[in-house]
Structure 1
Amino acid sequence: MQGADDNAADQSPLPHFILDTQGTPHKQALAIWHEQVGLLGQTRLKNPERFHARVEYYQLGALVLGTAKTQAQSFDRSRYQIGRDGVSHYVLQFYVDGGCRPRFGAQTASSASGDFMTFDCAQPQMTETPDYASIHLFVPRPLLAPLLSAPDEQNMRIFSGGGALVGMFRDHLMALWRRAPLLTVREGEALAKPTLELAATVINGSVREDAASGVQLALFDMICRHVIDHALNPELTPESIAAHFAISPRKLSYLFENAGGIASYIGEQRMHRARMALADSAQRHKSISDIAEAHGFVHPQSFTRAFQRLHGLTPREFRALARDQRSWDPQLITRQMWWKWMTGIPS
């Protein structure tokens, strides 16, 4: 019985939290915000009369992935506050809009939109922000510190958003955020470790052996997005993908080994587009052969066999189901591919 309960918990959605002051009476909204932020320090709003905030979080194992959008403010975290609450997390933050200016310490520059900043909650902080939107990751110190070359030198550090590793990490967090509503608790826990490894690689400025799989995960995700965006380009091939990402064909093959191979992934993405075309009422005038050819399948018979192998239905049967408005999950293939690859990464 216990095993069944544990399995059900593993398959449940990620824990999720939203705080949105929209529609909340002004004074109550201010009180809620000060109460929430006051758990970590003191905040002073620049224009409290127009205050609005929205924060949203998903829990991935021991990590918390969140977004925030709010007005200009300053934030102070003192040694007294640190001693009182004992919180020693790292906060890894990208500014989608706005930025942050440290108000003391060695760091005098300000971050800008697209930049990455690290905060160490075990150290004092004094910052100032304009109106901003961010995506951030809360990380327990014992999980990240062992992966860092200088774990005590990461408070209010700014990393240029133009760096290749920084861009890779930003894309990874954004991809996690987009997929978070679809992930289960088990999947979230599996994603935590490679996410930490990629974060450590960005902060350290180089890939350590104990963080390599996180970088591979981010590269895999970037390639998947590239394939999805260019699936209908007839010139999209394993060779062109390897050249685009400046990696060897052998490296590309290794990355997609647990996902059935890169050629298979390209074919499945084209099949996914073809499936959506078959379900599109605006394309009912097109023959199945025309749809197959438009999605890179020269021979209709080959398309039919591949479609049936992947979906368990012939294109004609699927089109009939779509016409009857029966449900079909458009995210299923991408999600299955993601999880199939993830479960093949050595721990």
Structure 2
Amino acid sequence: MNGKDEHRTRTAVPVPHSVFRVVDAPPGERFGLWKESISCIFDVEAERETRLLDFDAEVEAWLLGQLMLARTTSRAQSWRRSASTIARDGMDHYMVQLFAEGEMEAGDGPRSTFADGQALVVFDLAREMTSRTPSFTNLSLVIPREALSDALFAPDDQHMRTLRTAEPLAAMLRDHLVALTRVGRRLTTTQAREVSRATTTMVAACLNGCEHAAGLDAAPRVAQLGTCKRLIEQNLSDPGLSASQICGTAGLSRTKLYALFAPLGGVNAHIRERRLRRALSALADPRNRFRPVYEIAATCGFRNESAFSRAFRRRFGRSPREARHEGVDLAPAARTASGAGHRYEHWLHHLAV
């Protein structure tokens, strides 16, 4: 072996890998262990007979650079991601799922979707959803929003999209996810970083290129919307941020601005949502443990703490102080969870570009 080979051997660090399973626990305790573990992202319930008689669940996960890939197998159950859950974990990722076995019915109120082995389904984890699955095995790719959103034609219109694998790009992404699970344990961290970049590019190509994505004729609208959203992000701390200000800076009429933001619930609703999401992220950050709530509210563009607290509770179902307590407690709990199988819980909450 020459010097270069020895150097490669010494520096080839395996990709982080985690396996959570409940099969070794007494049957009556398995569902409780699963419910506690998966509560890092979903609240789940199952029929009494399923919970007590023959429940099983396993999550095998790989940390691929800034992405997480997981293969999950479990019994029939219901899944929920509510406003309260979103406030509790502050997660702001996209998730692409493929069902290798079984199927899923999901909804978020006005919309519903169905996925089986012939489809990929996309979730925006900053949005609410419920679903039901029979016994299943699925693959889940989790991507931080900031890693993907700038590459998408419609970053805020991906929630619960179903991509049929009859579409060539969707079929390519399906095959890529299956291949990643097959070779995941053999990847090194250096290889995983390269795979992460390639995978994110492939997901963007799939979401942009499949049927129902924004077409070329929508490019000017997408560019204008992107410009306006960047202006909003840059000025969220300004309590005087208004439609007039955005129109003046972006060179748009008020009518055009309102039309651009209509699919997002309106420009004012979008500004309020972004302010609340930024505040939630700040409250959940352990570095802000002793930072006054009124100061966080002010930096997010709220004129007073009372108005901020009311808006926050309406959106997330809990007070800013409650969200801060839960968010700050979450990280050490994930880090100290017993057993390597719980590592995926920590990864989900700390994915970042």
Same fold (TM over 0.5): yes
1:38 equivalent in alignment to 2:42: no
* C-alpha RMSD of the superposition: 2.2
Residue correspondence of structure 1 range 199-218 to structure 2 within 5 A: 199-205=203-209
Query: What is the alpha-carbon distance in structure 2 between the residues aligned to residue 80 and residue 91 of structure 1?
Result: 19
Query: What is the alpha-carbon distance in structure 1 between the residues aligned to residue 192 and residue 174 of structure 2?
Result: 18
1:144 equivalent in alignment to 2:145: no
Pick aligned residue for 1:65 from 40, 58, 69: 69
Per-residue Cα deviation, 1:298-324 (whole angstroms, up to 9, x for no partner): xxxxxxxxxxxxxxxxxxxxxxxxxxx
Which residue number corresponds to residue 307 of structure 2?
none
SS of 2:99 mapped into structure 1: strand
| CA deviation after TM superposition for structure 1 residue 66, in Å | 1.1
The 1:41/1:179 distance shift into structure 2, 3 A limit, reads closer
Percent identity between the two aligned chains? 29
Residue type of the alignment partner of 1:70? S
Task: Extract unaligned runs of 5+ from structure 2.
Answer: 1-6, 216-353
The 1:129/1:9 distance shift into structure 2, 3 A limit, reads farther
The 1:105/1:200 distance shift into structure 2, 3 A limit, reads farther
Query: What is the alpha-carbon distance in structure 1 between the residues aligned to residue 22 and residue 118 of structure 2?
Result: 25
Residue type of the alignment partner of 1:35? E
Pick aligned residue for 2:79 from 71, 75, 80: 75
Residue type of the alignment partner of 1:48? R
SS of 1:110 mapped into structure 2: strand
Conservation of the 8 A alpha-carbon contact between 1:147 and 1:200: yes
Query: What is the alpha-carbon distance in structure 1 between the residues aligned to residue 138 and residue 55 of structure 2?
Result: 17
Residue type of the alignment partner of 1:181? R
Q: TM-score when scaled to structure 2?
A: 0.54
Query: What is the alpha-carbon distance in structure 2 between the residues aligned to residue 126 and residue 163 of structure 1?
Result: 26
Conservation of the 8 A alpha-carbon contact between 1:97 and 1:114: no
Which runs of structure 1 show a deviation greater than 4 angstroms over 4 or more consecutive aligned residues? 6-10
Query: What is the alpha-carbon distance in structure 2 between the residues aligned to residue 9 and residue 61 of structure 1?
Result: 19
1:48 equivalent in alignment to 2:63: no
1:155 equivalent in alignment to 2:156: no
Query: What is the alpha-carbon distance in structure 1 between the residues aligned to residue 11 and residue 199 of structure 2?
Result: 19
Per-residue Cα deviation, 1:1-44 (whole angstroms, up to 9, x for no partner): xxxxx988851100000012223212332222111111223111
How many pairs are equivalent?
203
Residue type of the alignment partner of 1:189? R
Per-residue Cα deviation, 1:169-226 (whole angstroms, up to 9, x for no partner): 1111111211112111100011101100101111112699xxxxxxxxxxxxxxxxxx
Query: What is the alpha-carbon distance in structure 1 between the residues aligned to residue 179 and residue 44 of structure 2?
Result: 30
Task: Extract unaligned runs of 5+ from structure 1.
Answer: 1-5, 209-347
- Whose radius of gyration is greater, 1 or 2? 1
SS of 2:170 mapped into structure 1: helix
Query: What is the alpha-carbon distance in structure 2 between the residues aligned to residue 7 and residue 141 of structure 1?
Result: 33
Residue type of the alignment partner of 2:204? A
Which residue number corresponds to residue 188 of structure 1?
192
SS of 2:115 mapped into structure 1: coil
Residue type of the alignment partner of 1:197? T
